[in-house]
Amino acid sequence: MNEYLLEMRGIVKQFGGVRALDGIDIKVRAGECVGLCGENGAGKSTLMKVLSGVYPHGTYDGDILWQGEPLRATSIRETEAAGIVIIHQELMLVPELSVTENLFLGNEIRLPGGRMDYDAMNRRAVELLAELNINDVNVVLPVKQYGGGHQQLIEIAKALNKNARLLILDEPSSSLTSSEIAILLDIIRSLKAKGVTCIYISHKLDEIEAICDTIVTIRDGRHIATTPMRDMSVERIIAQMVGREMNQLYPQRQHTPGNIVFEARHVTCRDPDNPRRKRVDDVSFTLRRGEILGIAGLVGAGRTELVSAVFGAYEGPFEAEVLLEGRPIDTSSPLKSIRAGLAMVPEDRKHHGIVPDLSVGQNMTLAVLHQFAHASRIDGEAELRTVNEEIARLKLKTASPFLPITSLSGGNQQKAVLAKMLLTRPKILILDEPTRGVDVGAKFEIYQLMLDLARQGMAIVMVSSELQEVLGISDRVLVIGEGRLRGDFVNDNLTQETLLTAAITH
């Protein structure tokens, strides 16, 4: 019997001129949970797509041994039949189909005669979700009725339904709340107890530390090390990932906020389906020139709704009075807000941030194309120059600005969305979860950029679920709970406990 469940040997994967994987070797023992770590663009997702048959045999070099036998899969179906199941970084659910239909897509239960057995599938769907402790989902409703966290859990339930021997989770936790993450980690522990092997990818290294037995680090498409977690620490994982010690996770703050430049008054958002219910209830706040204002609170507290309403992007009925430099401005739609000097990087990159059919560069200049228009022609050279400058400034990793944006790694797509908004040269920048899916090194760069912008006088609002990050970078912190303002703190010896207490106390 082979000691390893899986061996990948000398895997090379090229996309045109880009060598995403440059001869990677990894080995995985049966029953262990492997943390696959690396910076944005290191090749984690690509390696897992090779393994799971997304990239069929013949489109990469190298060998895969599965239970000691060569695996030369040409489709995901084949790898699933072999017991390899992947949960992708970007959700793959079909929004219009019901929860049950999504759970059984390609895997339907049929009656004799071939018709679908909806009763059996619905029953099994309820069971599967119950195993994940999800009891508030109606399985016959379309998936789009549910938020990101629930959709992620539905995706996990779908994978569990396939009886995996090896379960690959590519950043499963980025849209989960901390209680949902706790559920997820418990699920992985119980799968492990049942003998299921896991490969877990996450930029949240505390999760990796909590759950993984072995750490595999890769950098620039090459294998760096395979180390038992007991010999590792979060600091060492980071050092292996970035290739140097990082003794500081947050840059020094050295700016002083000036006068009040921005005010949002009486922001109220109503539930689109039930206008009597207020998701944000009469919240007002101010912002100073060069200030970074963190907005903390539990998921579902109304933080995203609050900032979306301020920017005119809230999808239901809302009211907000917004003043910039003492004058009321029209922020009733995102376009008007951008014209008035606001910019927002939304939480949901895939649906509101990127246009998947356009290139990296086209996505970046989308909001400022008029700047390059001369006599109804676009000055392509000027546009390209600007794009290249932004790519360099944000250290955005792409082989060319002409590649489709969807070919970028998750963290680099996030940088492209940030670039798009910065090009509008806003006075007020709103960032909703700006470092979701971003690696530690790139997080530092984004913080540095925020601090530089603040020093130049930009006022920044940052919604974040990571309290450490809120404390690491904000000058002031608002706490939102159940749609109301629960606290407004200057970030001076402020602690996570203070913020959490404010979030949950009425």
Ligand X SMILES: Nc1ncnc2c1ncn2[C@@H]1O[C@H](COP(=O)(O)OP(=O)(O)OP(=O)(O)O)[C@@H](O)[C@H]1O
Number of residues that bind ligand X (CB under 6 A): 21
Please report whether residue 397 would count as binding ligand X according to CB under 6 A: yes
DSSP state of 309: H
Residue among 294 and 410 whose Cβ is closer to Mg ion: 410
E strand residue ranges, 56-193 = 61-66, 69-70, 84-87, 166-170
With CB under 5 to 8 Å by kind, the binding choice for 473 among Mg ion, ligand X, none is none
What φ, ψ does residue 165 adopt, rounded to 5°? Answer: -95, -35
Q: Is 88 in the site for ligand X (CB under 6 A)?
A: no
Complex with ligand X: residue 324 or 417, whichever CB lies closer: 417
Rounded to a whole number of angstroms, the minimum distance from the CB of residue 203 to ligand X is 6
Start-to-end CA span in the chain (Å): 60
Cβ atoms of 92 and 170 within 8 Å: the answer is no
Question: 189 is written with which tokens?
Answer: 């522990």
User: Is there binding between residue 43 and ligand X (CB under 6 A)?
Assistant: yes
DSSP string, 238-299: HHHHHTS----SSPPP-----SEEEEEEEEEEEETTEEEEEEEEEEEEEEETT-EEEEE--T
Displacement of CA 332 from its chain's centroid (Å): 27
Residue 6 binding ligand X, by CB under 6 A: no
Among 4, 15, 118, 372, binds ligand X (CB under 6 A): 15
Do the Cβ atoms of 465 and 433 come closer than 8 Å?
Answer: yes
Q: Which of 5, 6, 20, 313 binds ligand X (CB under 6 A)?
A: 20
Least Å from the CB of residue 225 to Mg ion: 19
Identity of the residue, 439 or 469, whose beta carbon is nearer to ligand X in the bound complex: 439
Helix axes 118-131, 148-160, angle to 10 degrees: 110
Near ligand X by CB under 6 A, which window of 36-44, 268-276, 346-354, 454-462?
36-44
Determine how β-strand 33-37 pairs with β-strand 197-201: parallel
Q: Quick one: three-class SS letters along 313-352?
A: CCCCCEEEEEEECCEEECCCCHHHHHHHCEEEECCCHHHH
Instruction: Indicate the residue among 408 and 460 with the shorter CB distance to ligand X.
Output: 408
Q: Does 410 bind ligand X (CB under 6 A)?
A: yes
Per-residue CA distances from 405 to 203, 413, 445 (Å)? 21, 7, 20
CA–CA gap between residue 306 and residue 489 (Å, rounded): 18
Cβ contact 471:289 at 8 Å: no
- Out of 407, 424, 448, 498, the only residue in the binding site for ligand X (CB under 6 A) is 407
Tell me the C-alpha distance between 371 and 101, whole Å: 46
User: With binding defined as CB under 5 A, does residue 45 bind Mg ion?
Assistant: yes
Tokens of residue 285, six digits = 């706040």
DSSP state of 353: I
The nearest distance, CB 405 to ligand X, in angstroms, is: 10
DSSP annotation of 144 reads: G
41 is an interface residue for ligand X by CB under 6 A: yes
173 binds Mg ion (CB under 5 A): no
Give the footprint of Mg ion on residues 388-417 (CB under 5 A): 410
Q: Kindly indicate which of the ranges 12-20, 56-64, 100-108, 386-394 contains the residues binding ligand X, using the contact rule CB under 6 A.
A: 12-20
Closest to Mg ion by CB, 346 or 410 = 410
Among 18, 30, 91, 120, binds ligand X (CB under 6 A): 18
**Cα–Cα distance for residue pair 383/314, rounded to 1 Å:** 31
- Which region among 34-42, 257-265, 303-311, 485-493 touches ligand X (by CB under 6 A)? 34-42
CB 253, CB 471: distance < 8 Å: no
Q: Structure tokens of 351?
A: 């649906």
Query: Could you tell me the smallest distance in angstroms from the CB atom of residue 170 to Mg ion?
Result: 6
Query: Per CB under 6 A, does 42 bind ligand X?
Result: yes
Give the Cα separation of 184 and 132 in Å (integer): 8
What is the smallest separation between the CB atom of 342 and Mg ion, expressed in angstroms?
A: 31
By CB under 6 A, residue 435 contacts ligand X? no
Structural contact between residues 188 and 311, judged by C-beta atoms closer than 8 angstroms: no
- Give the binding range for ligand X (CB under 6 A) out of 118-126, 242-250, 274-282, 396-404: 396-404
CB of 261 to Mg ion, least distance (A): 37
Tell me how many residues contact Mg ion (CB under 5 A).
4
Query: Restricting to residues 436-475, which ones interact with ligand X according to CB under 6 A?
Result: 439
465 binds, among ligand X, Mg ion, none (CB under 5 to 8 A by kind): none
Q: What residue ranges bind Mg ion (CB under 5 A)?
A: 44-45, 89, 410
Q: What residue ranges bind ligand X (CB under 6 A)?
A: 15, 18, 20, 38, 40-46, 89, 397-398, 403, 407-411, 439
